[in-house]
Amino acid sequence: MLRITVFPDERALAKQEAGRVAAALAAKPDLVLGLPTGRTPVRLYHELGLLGAHGQVDFSRATTFNLDEFLGIPWSHPGSYRAFMEQHLFSRVNIAAERIHFLDGAALDPDAECRRYDAAVESAGGIDLQLVGIGTNGHIGFNEPARELAGRTHRVTLKASTRRSNAALFGGELASVPSEALSMGMATILHARQIVLLATGKSKARCIERLVKGPLTTKLPASFLQLHRDVELVLDQAAAEFL
């Protein structure tokens, strides 16, 4: 069963989820966290930064793995997800740089980079708590709707809609958004011990309805979350409109 929690607004949701992450770290200081980028987690990261500034969350022994990264740009590129994470979270909490794991979009051999990443997740003991967002087309990570979904970390061609929703990171220039990315696969995500999906706003409401009420389908990659024993959907009222 998917558990569902609905908050009155994004702010309440972000505060609550920051508290969840802080509590998980207090209970297990060497927690392995899977992290998303996107507009949805920005407030959550802001709240974690505030907790960090007040010494109320301790990332010093935590390990993190981000879900995905654009292919063809280095971490130093301002549009990279690595740069996004640095700005919104990593620079604001006491995380140890050597325990931040990221796919390298500038890797010379992207397939080898994907294998390296899966091996790194394994050798960290797997992901304890995986936070994910959901695309308006039902993607998780960059696992886009398709006839088949990849199990493991892999190279993806991005859908036009996904490139459009990322244009803001590239000065609003759609043509500058990379056409490919590297992403954790569905199995990598589903092997996490606990998964929390965050969704806010009306644009996510139909996907959330299909995820909760619909069948498993590769046309809605997030529908595979139904297979996991410990998944919680954390929504604001707008995203929960059709439940």
Contact residues toward ligand PGA (CB under 6 A) are 38-40, 133-135, 165
What is the SS3 assignment for 29?
A: coil
> In angstroms, what is the minimal distance from the CB of 36 to ligand PGA?
6
By C-beta, is 52 or 138 nearer to ligand PGA? 138
By C-beta, is 58 or 190 nearer to ligand PGA? 190
Q: Is 88 a catalytic residue?
A: no
Could you tell me which of 72, 6, 39 has the C-alpha nearest to residue 203? 39
Question: In whole angstroms, how far apart are CA 20 and each of 24, 33, 51, 153, 196?
Answer: 6, 12, 12, 27, 10
DSSP count for the chain of H helices, then E strands: 7, 10
What is the SS3 assignment for 73?
A: coil
Is 199:134 a contact under the CB 8 Å cutoff?
yes
By C-beta, is 38 or 49 nearer to ligand PGA? 38
Cα–Cα dist 41/131, whole Å: 9
Cα angle at 138 between 149 and 4, to 5 degrees? 115
By C-beta, is 40 or 80 nearer to ligand PGA? 40
φ/ψ bin of 173: left (φ > 0), alpha (ψ from -120 to 50), beta (otherwise): beta
The HSE-up count of residue 12 (CA atoms within 13 Å, CB side) is: 9
Q: Is 68 a catalytic residue?
A: yes
> In angstroms, what is the minimal distance from the CB of 74 to ligand PGA?
22
Q: Is 137 a catalytic residue?
A: yes
Q: Is 228 a catalytic residue?
A: no
> In angstroms, what is the minimal distance from the CB of 198 to ligand PGA?
8
Question: In whole angstroms, how far apart are CA 45 and each of 22, 85, 218?
Answer: 11, 9, 30
Q: Which of 47, 144, 154, 191 is catalytic?
A: 144
Q: Which of 77, 88, 139, 191 is catalytic?
A: 139
By C-beta, is 96 or 160 nearer to ligand PGA? 160
> In angstroms, what is the minimal distance from the CB of 99 to ligand PGA?
23
Which residues are known to be catalytic?
A: 68, 137, 139, 144
